[in-house]
Structure 1
Amino acid sequence: MSANKDIASHPFYERTLESKPIFEGRIISLQVDTVSLPNGETATREIVRHPGAVAVVALLDGKMLVVEQFRKPLEKVQVEIPAGKLDAGEEPEAAALRELEEETGYRARSIRHLHSFSTSPGFAEEVVHLYVTDDLEPGQAHLDDEEFLTCEAITLEQAQAYIAEGRICDAKTLLAVYAWRMYALTGAF
């Protein structure tokens, strides 16, 4: 079966019998659903609701812009590509342009959508929309009040070293580095 158009007729479909809200936060919410399984049994599914996010592979003079920041869930400092959550009603491309300038101080004169992907489909609905640009001009960073980070431009070799060291270990940045490497080898994303 291709798209989710007729998902309810798929033999693996799980029909929701009950949905119970557990937590409503600023960024995520959590619900527990009781579902009917294909074999007629019931099960529970813990589901994290998230508005979605954007991330940008921003190339400047042969280097990629990254930000370094502390990530509390991992209890470590991470190197990541610029990214952020979608605001209510915001289009992904507009969010990508906004987040890029807010975090790096660079504006994209043009930007292209590479792909959208699920981060953890086993328990979360979050989708990240990945964009790429190499058409940058200086702008002005506008960090949120609770956001503390530094921005740097790194080479592909540095990015690969950061992966080996564990400084880059999140999915969106790993995907960005591998896409950038493919671009370096083939000239196409």
Structure 2
Amino acid sequence: MSSLEEKTLSTEKIFTGKIISLQVDEVELPNGKTSKRELIKHPGAVAVIAVTPDHKIVMVEQYRKALERTIVEIPAGKLEQGEKPEICAARELEEETGYVCAKMEWLTSFYTSPGFADELVHIYVATGLTKKEDAAETDEDEFVHLIEITLEEAVELVKGQKIYDAKTAFAVQYLQLQKAMGRK
């Protein structure tokens, strides 16, 4: 056991929903005292950095109720139980954008908010994009607008807080780094 580890003494399930669950754990702290931790459990997600052959970044504009506003994001979605992340990434890319890819390559994974949630997002890079005529449709409660923008336009959207989430900001910075290193 790490000298920083918190031992779980009890767990109280508060809510179980379609996407997340909430629990309150009582923990023993490293100094022997106890405390409460409010935790969100999430099945994980994927996000896709997709760039067209003419170097446009494929993104979606979507209303986010938690923010009460519309933002621009890279295609992303929740993992289904037992689903492999690379399968989910290909599915989400097609559902949200109508694109399929010749290659889906894992780039990295990161926790979105480790202070209170266990959501792990897997980032993929999709190459060899082609638009599919009979693409899968978005979920019945999901509404998105497809946009394709240049890297320079994406940087401006970050500055203007239209791109305002971590996974998409990460994607823009990744593409800037690739460009600076002479890669496309």
Q: TM range, normalised to the smaller chain?
A: over 0.9
Residues 91-130 of structure 1 aligned to structure 2 (within 5 Å): 91-130=84-123
1:145 partner amino acid: E
Give 2:152's aligned residue.
157
Which of 4, 23, 26 is 1:12 aligned to? Answer: 4
How far, CA to CA, are the matches of 2:101 and 2:14 in structure 1? 40
CA shift, 1:152, in A, is 1.2
The TM-score with structure 1 as length reference comes to 0.94
Distance, in Å, in 2 between the alignment partners of 1:48 and 1:120 is 10
- Report the AA paired with residue 24 of structure 1: T
Match of 1:52 among 19, 44, 52: 44
Structure 1 counterpart of 2:82, from 89, 92, 112: 89
Cα displacement (A) at 1:109: 1.1
Residues of 2 paired with 1:164 and 1:82: CA distance?
A: 20
1:20 touches 1:32 (CA, 8 Å); kept in 2? yes
Q: CA deviation digits over 1:20-43, x for unaligned, max 9? A: 100000000000000000000000
Residue aligning to 2:143: 148
1:141 Cα deviation from its structure 2 partner: 4.5
The secondary structure found in structure 1 opposite 2:142 is coil
Helix, strand or coil at the partner of 1:123? coil
| Pairs aligned (count) | 181
Partner of 2:24: 32
Tell whether the 8 Å contact from 1:104 to 1:141 is kept in structure 2 after alignment: no
- Alpha-carbon distance in structure 2 between the residues aligned to 1:180 and 1:141: 27
Residue 172 of structure 1, aligned match among 167, 176, 180:
167
Distance, in Å, in 1 between the alignment partners of 2:136 and 2:174 is 25
Q: Which runs of 5+ in 1 are unaligned?
A: 1-8
Deviation by residue 1:97-144 (Cα, 9 ceiling, x = unmatched): 000000000001111100000000000000000000221111225111
Distance 1:17 1:164, change over 3 A: same
Q: Which runs of 4+ in 1 moved over 2 A?
A: none
**What amino acid is the match of 1:32?**
V
TM-score by length of 2: 0.96
1:113 partner letter:
W
Offset at residue 187 of structure 1 (A): 3.9
- Residues 8-55 of structure 1: CA distance to partner in whole angstroms, max 9, x if unpaired? x21000000000100000000000000000000000000000000000
What amino acid is the match of 2:123?
L
